[in-house]
Every structure is written in structure tokens, then in C-alpha cells.
Amino acid sequence: MFKFKKMKIKSLFKLFVLLFLSGCIGASSTGLFGTGVTVAIDPRSLGTQIDDSIMDKSLDARLISLNKSYLLDVKTKILDGRIFITGKVNAPEEKLKITKLAWETKGARSVKNDIKIKEDFNFQQSAKDILITSQLRSAMIFNKKIIAVNYQIDTYKKTIYVYGISQNEEERDEIIKEAKEILDVEDVITSILMVSDLRVKKD
């Protein structure tokens, strides 16, 4: 009986922490990843969601302490202990420092760094990248085989980067197909995990 109560208290505590963390970053409908995975559909266990969120906040804090401009220039996503980084920095040395910092994050299982080196702003190219991202997001929303909220999309110089969790290989293939059908897309790079690959599966 005591063991049961202890487990129940532990579960309630985890739920409280998750709700608290979600509240710190905005409306709960957007989940722990802002525009990424939602709590309602997230296939990760509750404990894994909390661990990933804590890791993400820790890494963000360390990046900002390294350089305040990283608050806007660098984006991090953590799925099941795997760290994904995108953004732009001024020099290759910065990218190496950020990669090292990510690997030093407690609980990190892997690091994928897709940071680009800044170049002179090109309005036409930037507008095209935004359009490509919007087109893929819309295509994913209307494709019934894809749970669009489980993915983050970034486009840089006509190359699409997709991060997220797929229920199965068919869903992942659908995303790649939709991306390649968009006009002017030159490459599609995915960092998509399968539900079956997650460290801790959803209960």
C-alpha cells in the first residue's frame, strides 16, 4: 500500500514539473518544443519529455552565457537525449565550440549540428526559404498520414531540415516525398526518430 502511494506521488510530481515547464515557454498547445512535438501526441514517456526539456533549458542557458546573440541566432531541439542544433554564427570556430558545449550536456546521447556560417543577408533567398518552409508545413498538415505537430522544419538556401518523431517509416517517407515535391528545393536532410527507437517508450 505504501509502495503504491509512493508511486502515485512520484507520478503526480512528474506531471506537476511537466506542466510547470510547459507554462514557462508558452501555451500548452504548442508543447515542449514550441513549434515541435506536442504533449498530447508526444510518443515519448512523461519522464523522457521532462528530461529532454531540462536538458534543452540547460543547454540554452549555457549557450547564452557564452554569447548573448545565440538567444536569437541558435536553436536547439532535444529528442530522447539526442541534440539537434540549427542557426547561424559568424565563424567556424563558434560552431565547434557550440558542438563541444552540446556534448558536455548531461544526458546527451548524440549531437547533430546544422549551424551555418553567416553571410551577407540576401532578402530574395531568405524569402524563398520562408516560402519553402511554409509550403512543406501546409503539405504535412493536409497529409493524413503525417502528424505535422511532431516535426520542426528549417530551410536554409533551398535545403530543408526536418527534425522530429515518426510513428513509422511510412510517415517519414511521406514527409520526404512532400518535401521533394516543392519547387526549387535542392536537398532534404532529415533527423527523424522512429517511435521504436526511443529510449523510453510511451506507457
Give yes or no for residue 70 having a pLDDT over 80.
yes
The mean of the pLDDT values for the chain is 79
Number of domains, the chain: 1
CA 157 to mean position of chain CA atoms? 20
* Residue 65, domain member (yes or no): no
Do the bridges between strand 82-89 and strand 116-117 make them parallel or antiparallel, or are there none, so unpaired?
Answer: parallel
* Residue 170, domain member (yes or no): yes
Give the CATH number for residue 144. Answer: 3.30.70
- Mean pLDDT within 4-8: 47
Q: Distance between CA 49 and CA 36 in Å, rounded?
A: 12
* Residue 43, domain member (yes or no): no
Q: What pLDDT is stored for residue 23 in this prediction?
A: 43
Domain that holds residue 174: 123-197
The proportion of the chain whose per-residue pLDDT surpasses 70, expressed as a percent, equals 76
* Residue 92, domain member (yes or no): no
Q: What pLDDT is stored for residue 173 in this prediction?
A: 96
- Mean pLDDT within 84-100: 88
* Residue 64, domain member (yes or no): no
Q: Distance between CA 29 and CA 9 in Å, rounded?
A: 25
Residue 75, amino acid = K
Is the CB of residue 33 less than 8 Å from the CB of residue 149? no
Give me the residue label for grid cell 538556401: 157
- pLDDT tens digits for 135-186? 999 999 999 999 998 888 888 889 998 888 899 999 999 999 999 999 999 9
* Residue 45, domain member (yes or no): no
Q: What pLDDT is stored for residue 125 in this prediction?
A: 87
Q: Note the pTM of the prediction, 2 decimals.
A: 0.60
* Residue 154, domain member (yes or no): yes
* Residue 147, domain member (yes or no): yes
